[in-house]
């Protein structure tokens, strides 16, 4: 199961070694490769083994809640003997090493080993059987680790290049979000914000609104979708008469719950469409209890000519910059 929270990786195995950030990382060259690419380095015998196919299937599985199938990561296989200085600049590297002197499979990782930003992960195993057992148990967490690394890289950029003008409108909801420069405020009413980044062929945006919160029974998928659809029908008209944004009912939304910055998050991801029109795309929504209300932070992507995964990662990175301006806002559902 992908898309777990980042702390999962820290309990991956007892033998995991944490390496502090390289103090000289600012002197390193920039990493190469595109977001979502992984260089997989191993000796020749690995490529026809069961562990390889397990790892390959994990890394290239489809990202959830997209309108078309898109692999999470694109793998570039490389023999250990062929790794050169150029390959060492890759942004994401997984190295498989066989060593008969280790008793069981262990994992090490290091950030910014040869370039920046870079995540280098090495799995050392005595044999295929041990490696197979390890990947079956911990492989999904490795995938989550790399997903979160890509998203956290974006978060760093968004914090650095935050559009500070959007801070004031968010105050009415007692939240703070780092929208990067390029995002603009389209609509600002008493209980509804529409913030988006527009290009000729794409739109990425957020609707922010609140709803009265009385008890935990509100955190029901059908109820939350009904609230969301009601608000969008009222506030987000489509391009033709009688059209409006709503949830695509042919796809069952995916939900999960976790804590982010000491704040409870109920996440919903699915597909949206324009009723009575032909527009659509993926969405990721955070529902956050704040005092006597729940705040919806509803991110969407419209990119009809392009793959959607990277755009969704950008939406997720912005969502994960969320902080609450009220102290002690921890709610357990």
Q: What is the pLDDT of residues 43-58, one digit of tens each?
A: 999 999 999 999 999 9
pLDDT at 22 over 70: no
- Name the maximum alpha-carbon separation found in the chain: 71
Asked if the bond preceding 78 is cis, omega within 30° of 0, the reply is no
* Rounded-to-integer distance, Cα 296 and Cα 193, Å: 10
Q: What is the pLDDT of residues 260-292, one digit of tens each?
A: 989 999 999 999 999 999 999 999 999 999 999
Q: What is the pLDDT of residues 250-260, one digit of tens each?
A: 999 999 999 99
Give the per-residue pLDDT at 11: 35
pLDDT band at 78 (very low <50, low <70, confident <90, very high): very high
Average pLDDT, the chain: 91
Q: What is the pLDDT of residues 283-320, one digit of tens each?
A: 999 999 999 999 999 999 999 999 999 999 999 999 99
pTM for the model: 0.90
Residue 283: closest CA among 246, 250, 256: 246
- Burial of 70 by CB count in 10 Å (0-12 exposed, 13-18 middle, 19+ buried)? middle
Give the per-residue pLDDT at 325: 87
Give the per-residue pLDDT at 25: 65
According to DSSP, residue 184 is labeled E
Q: What is the pLDDT of residues 172-221, one digit of tens each?
A: 999 999 999 999 999 999 999 999 999 999 999 999 999 999 899 999 99
CB atoms within 10 A of CB 183: 22
Instruction: Determine contact, residues 32/90, Cβ cutoff 8 Å.
Output: yes
Q: Say which residue the tokens 């898109």 belong to.
A: 70
Cα 308 off chain centre by: 12
Superfamily of domain 162-324: Mog1/PsbP, alpha/beta/alpha sandwich (3.40.1000.10)
Q: Determine what percent of the chain falls in helix, strand and coil, rounding each to the nearest 5.
A: 30, 35, 35
* Per-position DSSP letters for 53-82, written without gaps between them: HHHHHHHTSBPSS-SS--BS-EEEEEEGGG
* Rounded-to-integer distance, Cα 312 and Cα 64, Å: 10
CB atoms within 10 A of CB 315: 24
Which residue ranges make up each domain of the chain?
Answer: 6-159, 162-324
Residue 116: closest CA among 9, 19, 10, 33: 33
């Amino acid at each position: 199961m992908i898309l777990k929270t980042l702390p999962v990786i820290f309990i991956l195995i007892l033998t995991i070694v944490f390496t502090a950030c390289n103090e000289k990382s600012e002197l390193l060259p920039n990493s190469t490769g595109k977001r979502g690419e992984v260089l997989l380095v191993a000796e020749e015998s690995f490529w026809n083994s069961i562990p390889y196919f397990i790892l390959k299937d994990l890394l290239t599985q489809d990202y959830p809640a997209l309108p078309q199938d898109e692999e999470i990561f694109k793998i570039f296989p490389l023999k250990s003997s062929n790794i050169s200085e150029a390959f060492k600049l890759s942004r994401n590297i997984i190295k498989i090493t066989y060593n008969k002197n280790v008793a069981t499979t262990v994992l090490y990782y290091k950030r910014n080993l040869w370039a920046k930003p870079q995540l280098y992960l090495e799995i050392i195993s005595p044999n295929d059987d041990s490696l197979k057992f390890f990947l079956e148990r911990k492989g999904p967490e490795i995938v989550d680790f790399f997903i979160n690394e890509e998203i956290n890289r974006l978060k760093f950029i968004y914090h650095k290049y935050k559009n500070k003008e959007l801070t004031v409108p968010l105050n009415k909801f007692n939240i703070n979000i780092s929208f990067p420069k390029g995002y603009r405020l389209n609509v600002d009413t008493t209980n509804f914000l529409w913030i988006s980044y527009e290009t000729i062929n794409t739109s990425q945006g957020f609707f922010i609104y609140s709803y009265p919160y009385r008890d935990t029974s509100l955190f029901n998928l059908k109820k939350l979708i009904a609230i969301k659809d009601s608000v969008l029908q009222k506030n987000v008209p489509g391009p033709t008469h009688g059209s409006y944004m709503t949830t695509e009912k042919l796809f069952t939304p995916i939900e999960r719950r976790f804590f982010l910055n000491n704040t409870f998050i109920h996440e919903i991801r699915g597909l949206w469409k324009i009723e009575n029109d032909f527009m659509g795309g993926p969405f990721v929504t955070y529902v956050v209890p704040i005092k006597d209300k729940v705040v919806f932070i509803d991110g969407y992507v419209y990119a009809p000519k392009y793959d959607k995964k990277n755009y969704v990662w950008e939406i997720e990175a912005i969502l994960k910059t969320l902080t609450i301006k009220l102290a002690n806002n921890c709610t357990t559902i």
